[in-house]
Amino acid sequence: MTERRRHHPSPRRHSRTRQITPRTHWLLLSVLAVTLSAALLLQGYTHHMFGISSDDVTGARGRNDMVPSQVVHGGPVIANAATSAHTARVKARTIALTFDDGPDPVWTPRILDVLRRNHVHATFFVVGTQVVAHPELVRRIVADGNQIGIHTFTHPDLARLAPWQRSLELRETQLAVAGAAGVTTALLRPPYSSENDALDNADWSVLEQADAAGYVTVLSTRDAEDWQRPGVDRILANTTPHGHAGQIVLMHDAGGDRSQTVAALSALVPRLKAQGFKFATVSDAVGMAAPVQPAGFGEHLQGLALVKVLQGGDWAVWLLGVLMYAAGVISVLRAVVVVIAARRHRRLRNSRRGRSWGPPVTAPVSVIVPAYNESAGIEAAVRSLLASDHPVEIIVVDDGSTDGTADLVESLRLPVRVIRQQNAGKPAALNTGLAAATCDLVVMVDGDTVFEPNTVRTIVQPFADPRVGAVSGNAKVVNRGGMLGRWQHIEYVVGFNLDRRLFDLAECMPTVPGAVGAFRRRALLDLGGVSDVTLAEDTDLTMALCRDGWRVVYEEGAKAWTEAPASLNALWRQRYRWCYGTLQAMWKHRGALVQRGAAGKLGRRGLVYLLLFQVLLPLLAPVVDIFALYGLLFLDPVRIIGLWLAFLLLQLMMGLYAFRLDGERAGPLWSLPLQQFVYRQLMYLVVIQSVFTAVSGSRLRWQRMERYGSLQAPVGAGAPNSDPFAQEPGFPQPAPYDAPQQSAPYYDSSQQPAPYGGFPNPAPYDGFPQPPPHDGFRQPAPYETTQWY
């Protein structure tokens, strides 16, 4: 029998809504990703590639035949190294105090205090990373009348760097000083340098390049060796000159505990003053023209930008670390909660099987199959339903298909009711089937899904409990061949089904999947049918039932085999619709957060769980990936890999337990590590896209899913003897019917039960009186666009 229903489109909110796919946010995300990556690379380079260490770490020097003799035997201040090198000596009875490696927030202020109390000035050779971290100290150094020189940006041995790295080190330090204090300096002290006679050929190449960049190199004549912490007396001995010759004294105001330096300096300055020495900056000590000048406006702005970017990088790394640990804690917490809940759910169900849900439910069931261009799989779906061991009436609602779906079903000449209507969308098709159903219990199944013989009987048994308004079945992936199929199979078993056990236990089930779900017809009619205001009509409907006081449960024994997307593009479209529709449903039912009873459980348990683990946690996933890459490059890669392996082990343990619960072979779990590098990124990008779409107020349009024809019709009901779960070559076939109380698989003709397992099979339409129309039922007007099933 075929019925034709014509719906006259009327203007609706959906047709008036401008449907666009936002693109601007991807550009924004790309810019943010590039900016963050650049900041992290710079931050990682400046903080972890080199660093302040003892002055003797570079070991012995090489040959020095390229170093001019006048430099080897000359003064400690070297100019014009690239052309005609000459040096300058410190004036007699003059001491130029110099401090390397700062500024330091603890020791630099104490040294400045000593200098101020004694009314002397010194020269500070600053490290760029320290300038960025403490720009206020650089300003204080300058404000106190002291002189600034540069000591590179990350304190590397310049002789061991490529020329471009040397230029980068000098230029970035100069910009940092310009940004922090508004001055530039021509004074340079290379890290790990000492006196003139210690220069080798590699060092000389550094001085030549520095001279070409406009720098004067300042070495030392006396080294306090305070980095060794030899004691105050030893530092005093190392810094006290012998005779009246002027000296450039090397000390440190950072790089470790400098308490001995501060104590020695407090004693050194008064002692030398008493001996007739005077103290001066390097330039004053050698009679050099002012090497420190105000920075130009442009250079000051560039310096400020550099300081802010690096400070932002430090903040970003701190925030990424916090978010990564938060994501890790949330993931571990979820794993523990889900596994404990699944274990408890299993115990309760096993104990319940002895007494069941109540008296066996034997009443016939209406099965609604909404179909739009489902010719590839509709025959297998219909024949699997006819092979059920429970009495069913099957209603196929053809929603304006253009591929002959309805004609195909009619040509099978099976006891199936076919209703044709103009294309109006899946919710409208479900409502059409709901209006035509003659049974009190209805099962909704997608046109790309096949049932096992006992699925209908199993899924309706919980209705023996009058509180139950809907039952979620166990959807399983049939096309598991290929890597993408395996990954989705893992997700269905580990993710979806473990979550449903938790939701069932917590009485806050948010979704009965469209592939396999059962409902009380009157409960749906009381709600006005299936709503079309979201793209996830199954989630919206389930949440509405929970808020209406109905219990929604999970029956893992009711298995349905569905086609999963076989390409990344198709998977993206499906998950984008799911995620966006779920966000719509969550927003629509947000009032449940403050309600009591069943609605409150949905709100404060179900919605919070969805927000935390299906929205916020995926949004944090990119943070984990970015920080992992940062850690591999700049932190301890062994530790990062160890953390990743620990996280993978946690997922594997969850997977093994979930597969055991579902009676699945654990073989596909070998692909779990690979899932972390493609599938996981796709899933969190879907969430990002969905969130931006929702926030922007754009409306996602419906599209049609691809069908692949991987489903095959079961034996019986006029079908050929074939395997309904035929896989691609090499796919390990699970044993899908090993669960307790499982009926014989319908692909074995020798064990095939009668079509309805002993129940009398009434005529499809004569035995079920049509109930009167429900006053609250509202058939939504059709969409004007092709819908997505």
| Residues with catalytic roles | 100, 252
Q: How far apart are CA 577 and CA 571, in angstroms?
A: 10
DSSP reduced 3-state for 643: helix
Peptide bond into 22 cis (omega under 30): no
Q: How long is the chain? A: 789
**Structural contact between residues 207 and 70, judged by C-beta atoms closer than 8 angstroms:** no
- Choose among 611, 613, 576: nearest CA to 590: 611
* 551-562/222-223 β-pairing: unpaired
- Choose among 152, 105, 151: nearest CA to 124: 151
Residues 6+ apart with CB under 8 A from 187: 123, 125, 147, 148, 149, 150, 215, 216, 218, 282, 283, 291, 292
Instruction: Write down the residue that tokens 């449960």 correspond to.
Output: 553
* CB atoms near residue 385 (< 10 Å): 28
Measuring CA to CA, how many Å separate 185 from each of 70, 98, 173, 277, 293? Answer: 25, 15, 10, 26, 6
* φ and ψ at residue 676, rounded to 5 degrees: -75, -15
What tokens were used for 248?
A: 């450039």
**Structural contact between residues 711 and 564, judged by C-beta atoms closer than 8 angstroms:** no
Q: How far apart are CA 340 and CA 322, in angstroms?
A: 27
276: left (phi over 0), alpha (psi -120 to 50) or beta: left
Measuring CA to CA, how many Å separate 371 from each of 53, 572, 673? Answer: 71, 21, 37
**DSSP strand E in 487-595: where?**
517-520, 551-562
* φ and ψ at residue 500, rounded to 5 degrees: -65, -35
DSSP reduced 3-state for 275: coil
What DSSP assignment string belongs to 376-417? TTHHHHHHHHHT-SS-EEEEEEEES-SS-HHHHHHHTT-SEE
- Choose among 429, 469, 459: nearest CA to 365: 459
Element (H, E) at 642: helix 637-661
DSSP state for residue 761 in the 8-state scheme: -
- Choose among 365, 732, 758, 733: nearest CA to 724: 733
The residue type at 386: L
Residues 6+ apart with CB under 8 A from 117: none
Helices (H) and strands (E) in the chain, counts: 27, 21
What tokens were used for 572?
A: 């993206």
Residues 6+ apart with CB under 8 A from 401: 371, 372, 373, 374, 375
Measuring CA to CA, how many Å separate 705 from each of 205, 559, 612, 685? Answer: 66, 22, 28, 19
Measuring CA to CA, how many Å separate 602 from each of 319, 459, 598, 764? Answer: 32, 22, 6, 38
Q: Give burial (CB, 10 Å; 0-12/13-18/19+) of 399.
A: buried
**Structural contact between residues 576 and 690, judged by C-beta atoms closer than 8 angstroms:** yes
